[in-house]
Amino acid sequence: MLTRPEEMPHRAFPLAYVLWLNARRSALGARHLSMWRYQLKTRPKKMTLPNAMQIEQFWNWFIDVSDQLLAGIEKEAYMQRLDERLLALHPGLRWEICPGVSRARQLTISPNLDPELRATAQQIVFAAPVLANWEYCAARQPKEWSYKIHLASHGQQPVELDATNWVFILLSSPDSGYYMLLSDPNLPLLTEAQRRQAAADVLCNLLGEELVMETIRDFELVYNFHHYLGQRASPIHLLPAVIESVQDCRTSG
């Protein structure tokens, strides 16, 4: 028989607790089964990695249009072409343009939270040209932001979400990482893909993509928590401090 663990690590629940809740939920007929169905990312079939010539061609094109890309959304056709060019290098990669730290703009070539593409993104960024207005990153960086995110919606205006009041729970994993549940009871009706993207955006903005890949094994955005877990949920703005705390505990332990 599954029994409830007596002690819980600080804000990080062991998987045994998840099993206990599942058994408890089945007995009570609760309606939150979907919150436990972690949707691991479906990886595309193994693709040929870009070679040096393909990467050089990508950056030669970027040099030619870099001034136009500075204009951002006003030059939407160039953004679309950037998307096509990067996907031609590898369909699993993504890009982001935002204000830079030491230059006007920062271009991020992102592995899209796929550790197997980390080296590919780094290979591309290492070959980037030196341009006066551009700096480059091989993973999305943590940033100061308004907790507002925008999600694509097929044939409609982008959906804006405010993550200010989100909460989260960490579930410890056997391999020293964590599963994460995020929630907002006021979340509008979204597709599974939209919820996945919203959660990824929030995590990367708060922690940076490298830290997410290193510590978070999987995550899910749900509409509400089982009340046993909800009592231990933390506000989303505390996430960086909580991750730092549990990492320090494991290091010292």
- Please state, in angstroms and rounded to a whole number, the distance separating the CA atoms of residues 209 and 179: 15
pLDDT at 174: 79
Helix/strand/coil for 157: coil
DSSP tag of 131: B
Across 218-228, average pLDDT? 87
- Please state, in angstroms and rounded to a whole number, the distance separating the CA atoms of residues 150 and 162: 9
Following DSSP, what letter does each residue of 124-184 receive, concatenated? HHHTPPPBTTEEEESSPPP----SEEEE--TTSPPEEEE-TT-EEEEEE-TTS-EEEEEE-
Between 50 and 19, name the one with better pLDDT. Answer: 50
- Residue 15 pLDDT grade (very low, low, confident, very high; cuts 50, 70, 90): very low
Percentage of the chain modeled with pLDDT above 90: 58
Question: Taking a C-beta distance cutoff of 8 angstroms, is the pair 93, 123 a contact?
Answer: no
Question: Taking a C-beta distance cutoff of 8 angstroms, is the pair 151, 197 a contact?
Answer: yes
Q: pLDDT (tens digit, 9 = 90+) per residue, 127-157? A: 999 999 999 999 999 998 899 998 887 767 7
Counting every residue, how long is the chain? 253
pLDDT at 42: 44
pLDDT at 204: 96
- Crossing angle of helices 76-89/52-69, nearest 10°? 170
**Which residue stretches of the chain are H helix?**
15-28, 52-69, 76-89, 118-126, 192-207, 209-215, 227-230, 239-252
Across 71-81, average pLDDT? 79
On the question of pLDDT at 188 being above 80, the answer is yes
Helix/strand/coil for 159: strand
pLDDT at 22: 41
Between 140 and 253, name the one with better pLDDT. Answer: 140
Across 28-45, average pLDDT? 34
